[in-house]
Amino acid sequence: MTEAVDTRGRLLDTALGLYAEHGVEGTSLQKIADALGVTKAAVYYYFKTKDEIAHAVIEPGLRDLRAAVTAAEAQRRHGARVDTMLDGLADVIIRHRTLVRLFNGDPGLQRIVEASVREYGGVAERMIAVLVGPEPTPEARVAAFVAALGMSGTGGAPEVADLDDDQLRTALLDAGSRAVGRPRRR
Amino acid sequence: MTEAVDTRGRLLDTALGLYAEHGVEGTSLQKIADALGVTKAAVYYYFKTKDEIAHAVIEPGLRDLRAAVTAAEAQRRHGARVDTMLDGLADVIIRHRTLVRLFNGDPGLQRIVEASVREYGGVAERMIAVLVGPEPTPEARVAAFVAALGMSGTGGAPEVADLDDDQLRTALLDAGSRAVGRPRRR
């Protein structure tokens, strides 16, 4: 059992590494098997298609995002909900930095993520609803999207790949908080 | 001559309309010819490949963006440069709203835009340099990307497609300005 879990985990790590090089579309079960040094049948034991593997690769990121949204929704006041949401989003972006980076440059991965987000109980819509708050004015709606899309887009941008996790996390959270009108104190 | 210009213009409008339905990859010269009610040879007179057409479709947007960057660079003080840049970016997003919307959902269009941006004298890098200003701290760099990616990503988001141009423009400019630490007064 432990060995099975390990193999599955190694398989997903290997797939993520290959995505960086070949994209999701260009990463066949055979390529993953070759990189792992196993037969294609061994990969097939865990996953039947390359889409299944891609779904499994992004699943931890979506699970963490859902947990962050749930934590934000549990707050009472709108301000605390927004702060908790942006803090959680920054955490998810940093924790899954490789995945976020690949996402920005890989249409194949974008397709899989979009399908998964839909399956994942509308986690993106819930995040936006928390950020927008009780008064969905045009200003509030646009600010919510600028913060969320700006933070995730920037987190994966090659131009900030030189920043370490702490620098990037703090700067993303600062800019996103300002965008929704809740500048952070230092 | 005027007729030729008109035909070329109609051809590009038709292509943009077909992109919304079939994506860039799925919009052949034949499809464009059929939609225009002309022969494929007539389309071929103006453009040899579907990539050439896609380049021509996005060219006005890139030209407007370059003009906005140039106007911002002409300002003396950093604050005025940032304000002019974000104002110009909001204008470009609104003026080319259909294109921006398609861009977000069409990997084929993203590929063409990325190639064109490179050819277009690094217009994206110049925009970011203006927003970052004289001190390229991690905070300033990240804030510049959050504003630029957040505004353009949101401008094309289907979730704000119901807003009219003025509402969207003002809200984008407000959120982007806050993100870079220059909240606008009303």
pLDDT in tens, A79-103: 999 999 999 999 999 999 999 998 8
User: Same domain for B59 and B44?
Assistant: no
Contact check, Cβ <8 Å, B145/A154: yes
Contact B156, B104 (CB under 8 A): yes
A 10 A CB-CB count for B186 gives 5
Overall average pLDDT of the A32-36 stretch: 94
On whether any CB of chain B is under 8 Å from the CB of A115, the answer is no
Rounded Cα gap, residues B91 and B97, in angstroms: 10
Contact B19, B58 (CB under 8 A): no
Q: Which residue among B107, B160, B183 sits closest to A142, beta carbon to beta carbon?
A: B160
Rounded Cα gap, residues B167 and B74, in angstroms: 28
Rounded Cα gap, residues A157 and A163, in angstroms: 11
The minimum CA-CA distance between B45 and chain A, rounded to whole Å, is 32
- The domain that holds A24 is classified in CATH as 1.10.10.60
Domain that holds residue B37: 1-48
Rounded Cα gap, residues B22 and B28, in angstroms: 9
User: Same domain for A44 and A56?
Assistant: no
Q: Which of B159, B160, B178 to mutate to test the interface with A (most CBs of A within 10 A)?
A: B178
Q: Which of B149, B167, B168 to mutate to test the interface with A (most CBs of A within 10 A)?
A: B149
pLDDT recorded at residue B114: 82
A23 token code pair: 């994209």
Provide the 3-class DSSP secondary structure of residue B49: coil
On whether any CB of chain A is under 8 Å from the CB of B110, the answer is yes
Query: Is the pLDDT assigned to residue A65 strictly greater than 90?
Result: yes
pLDDT recorded at residue A103: 83
Query: Is the pLDDT assigned to residue B1 strictly greater than 50?
Result: no
What digits encode the pLDDT tens for the residues B34-49?
999 999 999 999 999 9
User: Same domain for A43 and A57?
Assistant: no
Global pTM reads 0.92
Overall average pLDDT of the B60-81 stretch: 96
User: Same domain for B42 and B104?
Assistant: no
pLDDT recorded at residue A2: 57
pLDDT recorded at residue B186: 66
Q: Which residue among B159, B172, B179 sits closest to A175, beta carbon to beta carbon?
A: B179
